[in-house]
Amino acid sequence: MWRSHYTAFFVVVYLIFTCINCGEIDPASSVVWGPGLSPDLIVMPARYFFIHAMDSNKTRFQSSQGDVFSVDITGDSEFKYCRVWVNILDRKDGSYIVRYKLYHTCLNLKISVKYKGRNVASSPYTFKGPIFAEDCYCPVESISEWLTKFGCQREYEQITEDLKPFPNVNLTEVRRSILKKYDSPGSTSLCNYVIKDNEIYRKCYGKYVGFKMFMDAILLSLARKVVLPDLEFFMNLGDWPLVSTEKGPKVPVFSWCGSDDTMDIVLPTYDITEATLECMGRVMLDMLSVQGNIDKKWEDKIEKAFWRGRDSRRERLKLIEIARKNPDLFNASLTNFFFFKEEEKEYGPKEKHVSFFKFFDYKYQINIDGTVAAYRFPYLLAGDSLVFKQDSKYYEHFYNQLEAWKHYIPLDADLSNIVEQIIWAKKHDAAARAIAERGQQFARSNLMPQDIFCYHATLLKNWSHRVISEVKVLDGMEHVPQPVPDKPHEDCQCDKLSAKQSQGDDKDLRNKEEL
């Protein structure tokens, strides 16, 4: 499978002897890899790939080499030329992220990566096309075929565990139990989704259902790329998971957050999902940008623990108390008061928001729950600081893959050991840096946009196998249409893709992916 090959390749590259005083960058020895080099196979709002600078001895640089690589992406289209936005992000460790966005379908796409005018690795990378833009509606493959082509891993432990209580589900029967329990407009908001013939339908319940936009967006994006199976599910739009393990009916509800005392089926959070769909769009913070906007090297970082956030949990107030008693160890402040507004005088004044990228001027980052799990955790891991994570009953879809003292340093739930842990890190700088690097590598390998698409699609596929009731559009359901581009495209050329597949060329495309 393509992803396993590229992951294995990356690990080999990463383990190559690193050098501090490397010679001149050798374009032939430097490496280029990633899903953006398979644009004919992997369609995302922003495609991306990586470059790592190497010298002629195949030793990798481990610090920024400046703006030394140039990337030019060209092609043909009905608009005479291929309109592409290219952005290069320096990860400050000798590697670079190249991300690019197609504004329409392109033919004869050519990706040229150069160093001082010389081609890097196997550049140029050429594709006859069509190379689809994100808004092309071209679902011609089954979800199993698409998962393989997209380079997704075969299974996820969290999905397996979440679906274990539901081997067979009759939604006709379960629907009544869910609505009886959770149709409570003042306290719960959820949507009943149906996917039928690759169209999306829903009926929402509750007073505050605006967050349906996030579920709508990922389903519509997937439906443009793959023929989704017919299925039905309920999506919790609130912060807190709903289905208690101890009381009430054991019913299947999808949520963005799980907890030890609930059994909701967990999806990637709306935050990281939106960052995936709006990468190089309306969001500033995403899993790519956070890696390319860090200014200080580890040895130059301020040796304090940094935190900013609102007052959404009592422990956040306690952190302020601890920080004030230990100003040499902390820079922590609240940015807004809502939950404990009456205590603003004691724990304020509130500070202005700080750019998330500036968090990483500090060597240590603190991750404390908000109303539920703090959804900033993926971005903190992706940075190059050491993360201290509060012990919590709440979790996101990837938490079970993490290990304390390997990817982060654990904190007691009441923060009673936070000073002790930070002092340990200060006294064991090399070990602290190694933990930070492993956390960063985990994020790079498991929480990128490709991974978020894969997780959603894998869950939908596995869930569809468990729904035994007839899937049909119910009375009162609203159709969720595909968005209409500002300038409707007639250049997607899905018919050419269909023709290729009918001739068996899809196998050749997958083989190309293995190289």
The predicted structure's pLDDT at residue 491: 66
Task: Give the whole-angstrom CA distance, residue 95 versus residue 81.
Answer: 30
Task: Give the whole-angstrom CA distance, residue 43 versus residue 264.
Answer: 30
What's the rounded mean pLDDT across residues 26-55? 97
Residue 329, Cβ neighbours under 10 Å: how many? Answer: 19
Residue 323 has pLDDT above 70, yes or no: yes
Task: Give the whole-angstrom CA distance, residue 94 versus residue 50.
Answer: 11
pLDDT band of 513, cuts 50, 70, 90? very low
DSSP assigned state of 239: S
Residue 504 has pLDDT above 60, yes or no: no
Exposure string (b/e) for 467-489, b if CB count within 10 Å is 16 or more? beeebebeeebeebeeeeeeeeb
Task: With residue 494 as reference, give the H or E element that holds it.
Answer: helix 494-502
The pair of three-digit structure tokens given for residue 417, joined into one six-digit string: 């050991």
Helix-strand-coil split of the chain, %, nearest 5: 35, 25, 45
Residue 497 has pLDDT above 90, yes or no: no
Residue 3 has pLDDT above 60, yes or no: no
Instruction: Give the homologous superfamily in CATH for domain 289-447.
Output: Glycogen Phosphorylase B; (3.40.50.2000)
> pLDDT tens for residues 118-172?
999 999 999 987 999 999 999 989 999 999 999 999 999 999 999 999 999 999 9
All CATH 3.40.50.2000 domain ranges in the chain, comma separated: 289-447
The predicted structure's pLDDT at residue 4: 43
CB contact set of 458 (below 8 Å; sequence gap of 6+): 147, 152, 153, 155, 156, 159
Task: Give the whole-angstrom CA distance, residue 1 versus residue 154.
Answer: 9
Task: Give the whole-angstrom CA distance, residue 119 versus residue 116.
Answer: 9
The helix/strand/coil state of 481 is coil
pLDDT band of 503, cuts 50, 70, 90? very low
Domain covering 2-137 in this structure, CATH number: 2.60.40.10
As a whole number of Å, the CA-based R_g of the chain is: 24
Residue 2 has pLDDT above 70, yes or no: no
**292 to 27, 33, 285, 375, 505: CA distances (angstroms):** 21, 17, 11, 20, 37
The predicted structure's pLDDT at residue 194: 98
All CATH 2.60.40.10 domain ranges in the chain, comma separated: 2-137
What's the rounded mean pLDDT across residues 443-449? 98
> pLDDT tens for residues 360-374?
999 999 999 999 999
Is this prediction's pTM over 0.85? yes
The predicted structure's pLDDT at residue 79: 73
CB contact set of 505 (below 8 Å; sequence gap of 6+): none
**358 to 162, 217, 385, 439: CA distances (angstroms):** 36, 30, 11, 19
Residue 510 has pLDDT above 60, yes or no: no
